[in-house]
Every structure is written in structure tokens, then in C-alpha cells.
Amino acid sequence: MIWQKYRLVFRLLAPLHIGYRTAGNLMQTRGYVPGKVLWAALTTRLTRDEDNDTDGQRYIEIGQQVQDHFRFTYLYPATQNGNGYKTYYPWDKDFDYLFLNSYASTSLNYASQSAEETMLHETEFISPHTRTEQQVYLVGDLYAKTELSDSLNKWQDTLDRLQLGAERGYGWGRVQKILCDSRGDRFDNEPTVELQNGDRITAHWKAADVTGIVGPIEPLIGWERNNSNDRKNNWRLSEEAIICYAPGSRVTVDGKYTIGHNGVCGINRRQ
């Protein structure tokens, strides 16, 4: 099966929160959009466009089809630079200053007409404009099989109506597609990325599958929809924690790495 590579550029229209961790009363955001977030947004939009919004089973079916027929890289903030875009990474100098902000809120105690004690919290987000008042974009790549089912063949149209990350009920995470451009690159097998000694990785790399990487390790885990028949809650933590090298780690050998589900990479093939 042949895979086609596409370049993606989205204009960020609203604050974007990608759940990371909590520090005190601050809910921190990741400085990028993982492939799993893009998979979830694309699955949601494709399913709803079929008028199956209440059909939970259809979400599962479409989600599996998207897993089988698409591969994602992570999206990173960028600003316009001439006719192109300059991409920024969380390990770059001044990244937090340029792109991150926070919103404070609390629960109210209506009986006392005051804020509820101990409920004050801040939600960190990637801002749609930098502190230098530049428009923020999200830039990355997507790989799609050239032969798709009827359920998936309108995927490019759905990119115009995606909403990413958390707090979507408040209008956060809205994006506008600027570019979905075929790059000419095709792969006969699973898509791969080539890295050279000293390069930083820009996605999670499965620690059990690769060698020649130095950097922080973290378990890749998060909240997922609970689709089991005996569910007691609508949401649950991931059943499996994937131990990965975090984005920003460096490779110490030249190699090709396979891009897997949700953009998580593994299996290095040394050159």
C-alpha cells in the first residue's frame, strides 16, 4: 500500500490547551499537538459528518480506520516568515515567553456569594498570538494511504472544521486550515523519518524499540473514551502506558525511524 505525504498548516484561532501535568494550581499545557490529538479530532469530525453523532460504535469503527490509513507527525507552533513558516519548539529559547499564557478561574459558592475555597486554578494555553503580536500557526505533516474507503475519502474537507485539545466547550482549540499540500514524497511501506547524529526528535519514540537516543523518558498515558460494554464511567486512563523518549531528546546515530500510530515512532533502521 502506498502512502502519500502532506504538509499541514493551521491558523490558531483560539487558546489551545493540550493536557500535560499539574504544578500546584497550574494545569500545564504541552507546547505541541501530539498525533493522538489530531487522530481524535479527525475521527470525531469524520463520524459526525456521517450523521452518526450518537452512534458510539461508529466512532470506534471510524477511529480504527483512521489509525490504519493515516500517520501523523506532531504539530508545533510557528509564525509566518516571508512565504513560509518558522517553527518553534519548547526547548527553544524564549518559547514559553512567546507562546504560552494562562487563564485563572474558580468555582463559586453561591450561598456565601464568594469564590469557593481551594478551587482557584490556572489553565495554561498556547496563545493564538505571540507576545510580539504575531499570528500563531500549527505546522506538521500527515501521511495518508492513496486508497481510502468512502468513510475517509473526504478527510481533507474535514480539516476545515477541526477543534483540538481540551476546553472545547468554551471555544478553545479552534483552528483554520491554511494548507494541506501534497509534498510529492511517497512510501511503499510504513512512512519513515530520517535523523542524523545530534538531531532532536519531535515526537515520542518508543524506548523499547529504539537505540541511540539520549534524553528524558516519560510514560505516554492519558484519558480515553471508555467503550467497553461494562463501563461504569465514560472516561478511563489508557490501558497501557507506553514508555517513550520525550520530544527534544537527541539521537546519537544516523538512522531511519518508522512513524507509527498517533505519530509515536519506533524501530530504527541504521543507515
Residues 96 and 37 in one domain: yes
Residues 152 and 222 in one domain: no
pLDDT (tens digit per residue) in 17-37: 998 988 778 889 999 999 999
Residues 175 and 249 in one domain: no
- Domain end call among 135, 157, 189: 189
Amino acid at 82: G
Residue 112 has pLDDT above 90, yes or no: no
pLDDT over 90, % of the chain: 59
Residues 160 and 63 in one domain: yes
pLDDT (tens digit per residue) in 240-260: 788 999 999 999 999 899 999
Instruction: Name which of 203, 34, 32 is nearest 126 in CA terms.
Output: 32
Give me the domain span that covers residue 111: 1-189
What cell does 264 get? Answer: 509515536
pLDDT: which is higher, 82 or 54: 82
pLDDT (tens digit per residue) in 174-223: 999 999 998 778 888 889 999 999 999 999 999 988 888 999 999 988 76
Ordered DSSP codes for 11-67? EE-S-B--EEEEETTEEEE-SSB-HHHHHHHHHHHHHHHTT-TT-HHHHHHHHHHHH
Measured at the alpha carbon of residue 230, what is the angle toward residues 34 and 228, in degrees to the nearest 5? 30
Residues 220 and 177 in one domain: no
pLDDT: which is higher, 105 or 145: 145
Span 230-238, mean pLDDT?
65
The backbone torsions φ and ψ at residue 40, rounded to the nearest 5 degrees and listed phi first, read -65, -40
**How many domains is the chain partitioned into structurally?**
2
Residues 252 and 118 in one domain: no
Residue 78 has pLDDT above 90, yes or no: yes
- Domain end call among 127, 158, 189: 189
**Eight-class DSSP state of 155:** H
pLDDT at residue number 230: 60
pLDDT at residue number 173: 94
Residues 101 and 208 in one domain: no
pLDDT at residue number 235: 63
CA 196 – CA 216 distance, rounded (Å): 19
Residues 168 and 210 in one domain: no
Q: Which long-range contacts (CB under 8 A, 24 or more apart) does 41-46 make?
A: 41/162, 41/163, 41/164, 42/66, 42/70, 42/155, 42/158, 42/159, 42/162, 45/158, 45/161, 45/162, 46/151, 46/152, 46/154, 46/155, 46/158
CATH number, domain with residue 24: 3.30.70
Residue 63: C-alpha distances to residues 45, 46, 70, 250 (Å): 11, 9, 10, 32
CB 142 within 8 A of CB 8: yes
pLDDT (tens digit per residue) in 146-173: 988 888 988 999 998 999 998 888 889 9
To which H or E segment does residue 3 belong? Answer: strand 3-12
Residues 198 and 185 in one domain: no
Ordered DSSP codes for 95-148? HHHHHEEEEEE--EETTTTEEPTT--EEEEEE-SB-TT-PBPEEEEEEEEESS-
pLDDT at residue number 71: 95
pLDDT at residue number 225: 67
- Domain end call among 131, 158, 189: 189
What cell does 266 get? Answer: 519506533
Span 126-140, mean pLDDT?
97
Residues 14 and 58 in one domain: yes
Residue 271 has pLDDT above 50, yes or no: no
Residues 199 and 179 in one domain: no
| Strand, helix or coil for residue 182 | strand
Residues 12 and 53 in one domain: yes
